Chain A
Amino acid sequence: MKNDPKTYITAYCSISGGKVYKDDKLIFKEDTPDETADFLLSVYKSFSIDYPKFYKMDNLSKLGFLAAELLLGGRQIAEEYGPERIGVVFSNASSSLDADLKYFETVKNIPSPALFVYTLPNIVIGEVSIRHRCKGENGFFIRDRFDTDWMQFYVQDLFDRGRVESCICGWVECLEAHYHAAVYLVESCPGEKALPFNSKHIHQIYETDNGEING
């Protein structure tokens, strides 16, 4: 489509293997390998985030919450665009299996409603939406592996339809000891980086380890 609105990745954040990157900088690194929950708590504490609900979340939601929090870095996008103009689109491979296994452990004794509520992958969208007041289009897709083309298609289509002016999107995968978030903010304003929103750049964010992304 030739008349597509131009879209840009204006910020990105990746969390995996004990490291947190914001844009091209390594901003957190754990000293010794930790359990997923402990690592996520260390990240939460090290950035002095004050959001008591964090403690109630399952690991997938904690991961997505932290990635979105560091991605936005205090920006109030709901104030800038209006809550209805902000979308959230996530994808992963394991759905909510991490929470499913933990919930089902409780079924033998007393089934836990506090765990059951996290047995849907899109709850992380709910948590991010509550925190940042995102009321626009949202979607959760399961792919067996990270798929740049799918995200690029689905999110660009939301811009093309005029549904969103800003979208938090990416990969948020968590299963037991393995976790990997690669999220990015897409906007129609180029921002400082002016990184065009395309499959190549999405892929680079997913592969972030040296943190270098060149437009």
Chain B
Amino acid sequence: MSMKPVYIIADNMVSPIGQTAKENFDLLKAGVSGIRLHHTAFSSEPFYAALFDEHTGFADNIPQSGAYTKFEQLLMASVRDALSAARVDHTGKRTVLIVASTKGNVSLIEKGSVDTELKKRIALSTSARLVADHFHFTTAPVVISQACISGLVALITGMRLLQSGRFDHAVVAGADVITQFVLSGFRSFHAVSNLPCKPFDAGRNGITLGEAAATVVLSVEKPHRPGSIRLMSGAVTNDANHISGPSRTGEELHYAIETAVKEAGIAKSGIDFISAHGTATLYNDEMEAKAITLSGLQQVPVNSLKGYYGHTLGAAGLVETVASAHSLLSGTILPTPGFEMPGTSQPLNVNRVLQSGRYNCCLKTASGFGGCNAAVILQKDV
């Protein structure tokens, strides 16, 4: 099967840090984190998280009440900005919209009785259709809900759709918002850190939640501007071990990494940095350290961006892919906010400071509930 090259031709991030990918990346380089202590109506105790201001509108021209929920407004703001930069005919038959989210509009059940109408309104396919209609997409949107790897599975699906020849462009967008449902659930697991999360650190004790949207526009057409990023490959695996705890060995994430490397046709020595999942739970970071070591990549600089954005769930894979693409383009490896003391049984080269250099290739990984793992390879097209 011949592999058509797939390019990232536009991107966006809408987060508590900024409204565009560039704004976000500039502030990440300046060390700005979106994590704050929040007092909200849905939690009796204050908690650290990266949340939007309650009164933030995400973009002009998108109705801020009534027609669209906060989740949908967030998706639309991200898609709008990415489309304006992509300059492709997204209303034609050759473009597909792909949406990734874990919980979408689940907040709608928090308000009381849930009737048949509301059940339809909550469905992720309803949100995807509203977003598609808003921007006049004419092809049926694809929706992925696969825990914390949703964003990466969406990217991989987009790549596969383009390589199959079904479409020429894929607008891949992911978003999640933090509500009582999500916060209470992670708290019930004792998985929420009392302080801003500390990925890979010896003192890590859980995640910090975050809300964001990110969009990547993939195309089979090579951008005219110099210095574009190719999505080289992607792979998904399952631990087949436990539904809420990661693999004890890391073998299955390792297998995803090996498969992605093989599909990309690159040498592992060519990987310049790894953008890990790095949620800062004891077990996730330990599993990732084992998987990276099994892959022989323990010397490669690795970062987690959860100290900037918190864990943005279904958006995380896309948020971190966008940041990694900008890292490659600008010759910068971002640090890992929260990391101080090595804290995994297999030592990793956790990146602590902003590094500059010539970087061509990045491995992005993610893992999630249900035992799922994903890996993608990004490479600068030279």
Contact = CB atoms under 8 A, between A and B. Distances in A.
Nearest to A130: B240
A83 to B, nearest CB: 6
Interface in B338-378: 368-372
Contacts of B103: 100, 119
B126 A122 contact: no
Contact of B119 (A88, A129, A175): A175
A160 interface: yes
A141 B237 contact: no
A95 B122 CA distance: 10
Contacts of A134: 238, 240
B181 interface: yes
A133 B240 contact: yes
A162 B123 CA distance: 33
Interface stretch (A31-39, A105-113, A194-202): A105-113
Contacts of A3: 1
Given A117-B243, A137-B235, A137-B236, A142 B153 contact: no
Given A139-B153, A140-B144, A125 B370 contact: yes
Interface centre among A93, A119, A122 (most CB of B within 10 A): A122
A144 interface: yes
B143 A116 contact: no
B144 A141 contact: yes
Nearest to A126: B370
B144 to A, nearest CB: 6
B299 interface: no
A192 to B, nearest CB: 28
Contacts of A94: 119, 123
Interface string B149-177: 00001000100110011100000000000
A104 B241 contact: no
B146 interface: yes
A104 B189 contact: no
B114 interface: yes
A150 B182 CA distance: 30
B145 A140 contact: yes
Given A126-B372, A142-B125, A144-B126, A84 B110 contact: no
A123 B124 contact: no
Interface in A30-84: 83-84
A212 interface: no
Contact of A122 (B142, B240, B370): B370
Contact of B239 (A88, A113, A135): A135
A111 B188 contact: yes
B252 interface: yes
Given A100-B106, A130-B240, A135-B237, A107 B181 contact: yes
A136 interface: yes
B124 A95 contact: yes
Please classify the interface of chain B as helix (H, G, I), strand (E, B), loop, or mixed, using the class held by over half of its residues.
mixed
Contact of A120 (B102, B128, B164, B259): B102
B189 A116 contact: yes
Nearest to A124: B370
Given A107-B180, A163-B259, A153 B164 contact: yes
Nearest to B236: A137
Interface residues of A, number: 52
A193 interface: no
Contacts of B126: 144
B166 A153 contact: yes
B376 to A, nearest CB: 14
B93 interface: no
Contacts of B166: 153
Contact of B238 (A88, A116, A119, A121): A88
A1 B1 contact: yes
B185 interface: yes
A157 B181 contact: no
A120 B369 contact: yes
A143 B241 CA distance: 28
Given A3-B1, A143-B125, A130 B145 contact: no
B184 A122 contact: no
A136 B181 contact: no
A27 interface: no
A83 B239 CA distance: 10
B147 interface: yes
B187 A111 contact: yes
Interface of A: 1, 3, 83-84, 88, 93-95, 97, 100-101, 103-104, 107, 110-113, 116-117, 119-123, 125-127, 129-130, 132-144, 150, 153-154, 157, 160-163, 175
12 contacts: A83-B240, A100-B181, A116-B185, A117-B189, A120-B146, A122-B368, A123-B243, A129-B240, A130-B243, A132-B240, A140-B145, A143-B125
Interface of B: 1, 102-104, 106, 109-110, 114, 119, 122-126, 128-129, 142-147, 153, 157, 160-161, 164-166, 180-181, 184-189, 235-244, 252, 255, 259, 263, 368-372
